[in-house]
Amino acid sequence: MKVLIALDSSSASGGIINVVQARPWPSGTTFCLVSVVANTTGPFGMNDSSTSESASSATKTASHYLENAMALLKKRVPHAKVFAEVLQGGVVGRIVAKAKELHTDLIVSGHQGCYGLGGQTLGVVAQGVVQRAPCSVAVIKPKRMATVLPNCAHGT
């Protein structure tokens, strides 16, 4: 089974690894952890040194976060193959494209817990991934993530 796990450094994303590791996975499962750094441009679509530095900083932060998440998942699901990649571009498009490239069986994502007139709804990214994904998508609710292990975002 091939599983793509979409992460960012938000508190909503922090418990996804804990939810994933708590489930039984068949032998030979491969996990690809991804974090997408959105393209940044300055005024009028121009890149300047401040946007380049910001993108570089965001990439380093995402890479560090993925390394910690990957180590935790490898420790808790030792029979699985785990790798990670920081992607650049539009978040939904890059997640869906990576899932297609890897022939993913399942995408796991969190959501920010947006509230609308009818109660809790999916955020823009989670909804976009669900609508465009080439495979099944598991969207982990923030409340569920917090009940498994609340301190995952801090690497504990």
- Residue spans per domain, the chain: 2-154
Q: What is the pLDDT of residues 35-77, one digit of tens each?
A: 999 876 555 555 554 556 677 888 999 999 999 999 999 999 9
How many degrees, rounded to 5, is the angle at CA 102 between CA 98 and CA 108? 65
The parts of the chain modelled with pLDDT lower than 50 are: 49, 144-156
Give the per-residue pLDDT at 120: 53
Give the per-residue pLDDT at 150: 39
Any residues with CB less than 8 A from the CB of 11 and at least 6 apart, and which? 142, 153
Residue 43 is which amino acid? P
| CA nearest neighbour of 129 among 101, 152, 98, 87 | 98
Residue 129: count of CB within 10 angstroms of its CB = 24
The CA–CA distances, whole Å, from 84 to 5, 39, 64 equal: 9, 19, 11
Could you tell me how far CA 137 lies from the centroid of its own chain?
12
> Is residue 73 a contact partner of residue 33, using CB atoms and an 8 Å limit?
yes
Side-chain half-sphere exposure of 151, counting CA atoms within 13 A = 3
| CA nearest neighbour of 83 among 98, 100, 97 | 98
Give the per-residue pLDDT at 121: 59
Total-model pTM: 0.80
For 2-154, give the CATH class.
Answer: alpha beta
